[in-house]
Amino acid sequence: MTDVAIVVHGGAGEWPADAHDAARAGMEAAVEAGHAILAAGGDALAAVEAAVVVLEDDPIFNAGRGAALDERGGVLLDASLMRGADRAAGSVAALRGIRNPVRAARAVMEDGRHLMLVGESASLFARTAGLETAPESWFRTEARRRAFENGDSSRGGTVGAVARDARGGLAAATSTGGSARKHPGRVGDSPLVAAGTWADDATAAVSCTGDGEAIIRTALAHEVDALMRHAGLPLAEACEVALAGLALRPGTGGLIAVCADDVAAPFTTPAMPRAWRLGHGPTLTAVGRDG
């Protein structure tokens, strides 16, 4: 038996001081949801899915409810998840009207026919799979409408979770509404295995956030795996080197990662809400560089 572990993030970027309390509360709730599953003997994949569902439902984050609006003022959602034991993975992009995109990614994975579905066909698949739908009005919060009307095109608020279960199994999940005022067909790193999400029990489970296009060009999540596997770096160093690579693309961002005996949550932006719980320890949260 291994000590269980879970880490969540709420998106690398600028987080104004008046949003810190809400971000911490959301992070803590997500960690508790995931930890409850791990503590009951559940697997890492179920834990990261449950944690991300909490964050998708929390309107402060840019995922599920409260997602950033695209250039037409619409909501299109992306998510992916991956299991480290066998690298099974599921992904959806440009998904519309499904309350919890991470559940749609899980449904794609469980269906097993394909790994990634996009657009209207992905939405139809998710509805057919019996996933809960929600009207556009449920996703579009007043804060996002104001930001859209003010021309705000900031990024950030993507959510993710990584976990290690009692059998040493790892998993990662990532979910986002994408960059604000994006082209409605735009796909960033979050739903892309190797870019935004990766998990392999032999190395690490990783969920990324930040400048999506630069993260894709860095293959950021898989680069952490590669640095551990091929260069022999420990987790924390692999994450730092991978983020230094992101800076060259150029881009800023952050990631959370877990391996057999460590966790990491580095970022190169001013802030990245994050929380973690290791074994029977307390849930710890932080937003900026100094906590």
Residue 94 interacting with its own copies (CB under 8 A): yes
Question: For this structure, is 174 an active site residue?
Answer: no
Q: Which of 158, 165, 167 is nearest to 197 (CA)?
A: 158
Per CB under 8 A, the list member of 25, 39, 118, 166 interacting with its own copies is: 118
Per CB under 8 A, the list member of 35, 65, 222, 274 interacting with its own copies is: 222
Residue 202 interacting with its own copies (CB under 8 A): no
CB nearer to its own copies: give 54 or 82.
Answer: 82
CA–CA separation, 33 and 60 (whole Å): 17
Residue 230 interacting with its own copies (CB under 8 A): yes
DSSP 86-155: T--EEEEEEE-SBS-HHHHHHHHHHH-S-SEEEHHHHHHHHHHTTPPB--HHHH--HHHHHHHHTT----
State the binding string over 179-198 for its own copies (x if CB under 8 A, else -). Answer: ---xxxxxxx---xxxx--x
Per CB under 8 A, the list member of 25, 134, 226, 260 interacting with its own copies is: 226
- Shortest Å, Cβ 92 to its own copies: 9
**196 touches 79 (CB < 8 A):** no
Other C-beta atoms within 10 Å of 21: how many?
11
Residue 240 interacting with its own copies (CB under 8 A): no
CA–CA separation, 86 and 63 (whole Å): 27
At 63, which amino acid appears? Answer: A
State the binding string over 37-66 for its own copies (x if CB under 8 A, else -). Answer: ------------------------------
CB nearer to its own copies: give 32 or 213.
Answer: 213
Can you read off the two tokens belonging to residue 218? Answer: 């860095």
- Shortest Å, Cβ 163 to its own copies: 19
Other C-beta atoms within 10 Å of 248: how many?
10
Q: Where are the alpha helices (DSSP H) in 209-251?
A: 212-218, 220-229, 235-247
Strand (E) or helix (H) holding 162: strand 159-164
Instruction: Name the segment binding its own copies (CB under 8 A); options: 13-21, 144-152, 214-222, 256-264.
Output: 214-222
CA–CA separation, 84 and 201 (whole Å): 4
Instruction: Name the segment binding its own copies (CB under 8 A); options: 7-15, 51-59, 225-233, 280-288.
Output: 225-233
* Residues 6 or more apart in contact with residue 141 via CB below 8 angstroms: 59, 65, 66
From the candidates 128, 133, 141, 158, give the one annotated as an active-site residue: 158
- Shortest Å, Cβ 87 to its own copies: 4
Per CB under 8 A, the list member of 2, 14, 73, 114 interacting with its own copies is: 114
Residue 81 interacting with its own copies (CB under 8 A): no
Residues that bind its own copies (rule: CB under 8 A) add up to a total of 45
Instruction: Name the segment binding its own copies (CB under 8 A); options: 8-16, 42-50, 85-93, 134-142.
Output: 85-93
Can you read off the two tokens belonging to residue 225? Answer: 């795996």
What are the catalytic residues?
158
Binding site for its own copies (CB under 8 A): 87-89, 91, 93-94, 113-122, 124-125, 182-188, 192-195, 198, 212-213, 216-219, 222-223, 225-227, 229-231, 249
